[in-house]
């Protein structure tokens, strides 16, 4: 299931932004403050809104007036995402639309929530889920494509509160195929907020299959892979040794007080180093390899500034890891300022963000014929970025 199109309105600097034909790996660059972090915040916001509700998710970002675009707080915040999924053996284009506004008391509510797709090859999209202010319906026999519209079963529901997403409840039921699939996508996408200090710490013994957003469970995930998927763990170690010279082994060991501690063995020394004493780049590279070689990749992955703390010559291999992750089923968004990252990015994977008068616009670099000619003549995006030639 891949996201093909995103449209955002009135979300901070993203007043009216549309991304079309999104590739498996999409890399976003732009000056500081151009809106790259804001774009990624949209996905964290949706995940928080699904887990809790839109009111709580907005409060954690400063409230509705702080999230809505300056000067447009009287307008709804809108998010529209298109993705493809199999329904009745047909690859269908599904659209999820969400509009959030404030009621008369100034409390954020879900003004409109729609899930739609075409029943046949022609005609307009059909609403299989449609809710307004906490009330609406979902079609429970949505896969009966041969039935006329009048025979579709509409399940009318009232939600507990108008600030709750309808897909939060209905997405738990397999009979609502599209709602269930989209809920699964949001619940399982990963917006990385990696903290090196968190990844260095020992953790209480337990089980963790996937790296957390901050990386604070890195020792547990390494231990899980070593015990349950040795081939993947050995592959991670092999690539880690290639990127960090001298490193021969990484182990997750139990301490006497019931914690798990990462230890890194440098071949030049007899005793291993505990994680707190190795370099930032060493920790980050190991964590990225653990994340990107997850046997069950996240359906959607966002990483900001992967180049930070890493030696520039490692970045080409990292881009290849990201691209490989995307081809295995986990679509990837990356933001970067690094020319060394951009030098390994294809033009149809690259997007430039520019902010003018407080409003961000996103440009696909593949749409710029001059940049395309530069690339055809042997230039690389990072070189052009250094020379100030990625201007639109």
Q: What is the DSSP string of 100-122?
A: EEE-TTS-EEEEEEEEEE-SSSS
Q: How confident is the model at residue 324 (pLDDT cuts 50, 70, 90)?
A: very high
Q: What is the pLDDT of residue 317?
A: 94
Domain that holds residue 72: 3-22+42-188
- Domain assignment of residue 206, yes or no: yes
Q: How confident is the model at residue 148 (pLDDT cuts 50, 70, 90)?
A: low
Quote the number of domains for the chain: 2
Q: What is the pLDDT of residue 144?
A: 60
Q: Which helix (H) or strand (E) holds 45?
A: helix 36-51
Q: Which of 151, 169, 188 is the last residue of a domain?
A: 188
103 with 144, same domain: the answer is: yes
The span from the CA of 63 to the CA of 332, in Å, is: 28
Q: What is the pLDDT of residue 257?
A: 87
- Domain assignment of residue 329, yes or no: yes
What is the per-residue pLDDT across 69-118, written as a single tens digit (0 to 9) for each? 999 999 999 999 998 877 767 777 889 999 999 999 999 999 999 998 87
Partners of residue 101 on adjacent β-strands = 109
- Compute the half-sphere exposure of residue 275: CA atoms within 13 Å on the CB side of its CA: 26
* Close Cβ partners of 227 (under 8 Å, ≥ 6 residues apart): none
Partners of residue 97 on adjacent β-strands = 80, 114
What is the spatial order of strands in the sheet that 25-30 belongs to? 190-191, 300-304, 331-336, 25-30, 350-356, 359-364
What sign has the CA pseudo-torsion 22, 24, 30, 32?
Answer: positive
330 with 236, same domain: the answer is: yes
- Domain assignment of residue 63, yes or no: yes
Instruction: Label residue 52 exposed, middle or buried (CB < 10 Å: 0-12, 13-18, 19+).
Output: middle
197 with 337, same domain: the answer is: yes
17 with 159, same domain: the answer is: yes
13 with 159, same domain: the answer is: yes
223 with 319, same domain: the answer is: yes
Label residue 209 left, alpha or beta by phi (over 0 means left) and psi (-120 to 50 means alpha): alpha
- Domain assignment of residue 82, yes or no: yes
3-state class of 77 per DSSP? strand
- Domain assignment of residue 311, yes or no: yes
What sign has the CA pseudo-torsion 278, 280, 282, 286?
Answer: positive
183 with 240, same domain: the answer is: no
- Domain assignment of residue 254, yes or no: yes
Write the CA distances from 126 to 25, 119, 138, 302, integer angstroms: 30, 7, 11, 31
177 with 216, same domain: the answer is: no
- Looking at every residue in the chain, the average pLDDT score rounds to 90
pTM given for the model: 0.92
- Say yes or no to pLDDT of 197 above 60: yes
The span from the CA of 260 to the CA of 286, in Å, is: 16
**Largest interatomic CA distance in the chain:** 76
Using alpha carbons, select from 263, 264, 319 the residue that is nearest to residue 292.
319
242 with 312, same domain: the answer is: yes
10 with 52, same domain: the answer is: yes
The span from the CA of 316 to the CA of 178, in Å, is: 37
Q: How confident is the model at residue 329 (pLDDT cuts 50, 70, 90)?
A: confident
* Close Cβ partners of 148 (under 8 Å, ≥ 6 residues apart): none
The phi, psi pair for 219, rounded to 5°, reads -60, -40
Q: What is the pLDDT of residue 28?
A: 97
- Domain assignment of residue 392, yes or no: no
- Say yes or no to pLDDT of 68 above 90: yes
The span from the CA of 305 to the CA of 95, in Å, is: 30
- Say yes or no to pLDDT of 292 above 80: yes
Partners of residue 203 on adjacent β-strands = 260
Instruction: Label residue 245 exposed, middle or buried (CB < 10 Å: 0-12, 13-18, 19+).
Output: exposed
Q: Which of 157, 188, 219 is the last residue of a domain?
A: 188
Q: Which of 345, 366, 381 is the last residue of a domain?
A: 345
The span from the CA of 302 to the CA of 279, in Å, is: 24
217 with 89, same domain: the answer is: no
* Close Cβ partners of 198 (under 8 Å, ≥ 6 residues apart): 214, 215, 216
What is the per-residue pLDDT across 13-55, written as a single tens digit (0 to 9) for each? 999 999 999 999 999 999 999 999 999 999 999 999 999 999 9
- Domain assignment of residue 374, yes or no: no
CATH of residue 317: 3.40.50.300
267 with 316, same domain: the answer is: yes
């Amino acid at each position: 299931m891949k996201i093909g199109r995103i449209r955002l309105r009135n979300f901070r600097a993203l007043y009216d932004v549309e991304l079309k034909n999104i590739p498996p790996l999409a890399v976003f660059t732009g000056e500081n403050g151009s809106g790259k972090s804001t774009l990624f915040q949209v996905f964290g916001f949706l995940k928080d809104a699904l887990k809790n509700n839109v009111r709580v998710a907005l409060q954690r970002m400063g409230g509705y007036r702080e999230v809505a675009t300056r000067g447009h707080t009287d307008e709804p915040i809108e998010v529209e995402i298109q993705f493809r999924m199999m329904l009745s053996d047909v690859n269908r284009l599904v659209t999820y639309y969400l509009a959030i506004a404030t009621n008369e008391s100034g409390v954020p509510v879900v003004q409109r929530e729609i899930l739609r797709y075409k029943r046949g090859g022609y005609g307009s999209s059909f609403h299989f889920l449609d809710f307004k202010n906490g009330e609406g319906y979902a079609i429970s026999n949505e896969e009966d494509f041969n039935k006329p519209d009048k025979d579709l079963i509409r399940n009318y529901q009232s939600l507990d509160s108008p600030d709750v997403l309808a897909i939060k409840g209905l997405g738990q039921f397999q009979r609502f195929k599209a709602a269930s699939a989209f809920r699964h996508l949001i619940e399982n996408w990963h917006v990385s907020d990696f903290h090196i200090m968190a990844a260095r710490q020992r953790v209480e013994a337990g089980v963790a299959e996937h790296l957390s957003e901050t990386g604070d469970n890195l020792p547990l995930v390494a231990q899980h892979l070593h015990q349950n998927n040795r081939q993947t763990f050995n592959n991670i170690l092999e690539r880690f040794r290639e990127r960090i010279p001298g490193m021969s082994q990484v182990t997750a060991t139990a301490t006497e007080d019931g914690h798990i501690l990462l230890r890194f063995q440098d071949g030049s020394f007899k005793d291993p180093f505990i994680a707190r004493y190795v370099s930032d780049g060493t920790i980050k590279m190991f964590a990225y390899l653990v994340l990107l070689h997850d046997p069950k990749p996240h359906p959607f992955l966002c990483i900001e500034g992967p180049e930070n703390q890493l030696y520039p010559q490692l970045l080409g291999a990292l881009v290849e890891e990201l691209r490989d992750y995307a081809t295995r089923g986990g679509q990837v968004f990356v933001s970067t300022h690094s020319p060394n990252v951009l030098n390994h990015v294809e033009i149809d994977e690259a997007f430039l963000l520019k902010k003018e008068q407080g409003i961000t616009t996103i440009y696909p670099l593949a749409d710029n014929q001059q940049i395309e000619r530069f690339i055809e003549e042997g230039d690389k995006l990072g070189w052009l970025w250094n020379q100030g030639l990625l201007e639109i």
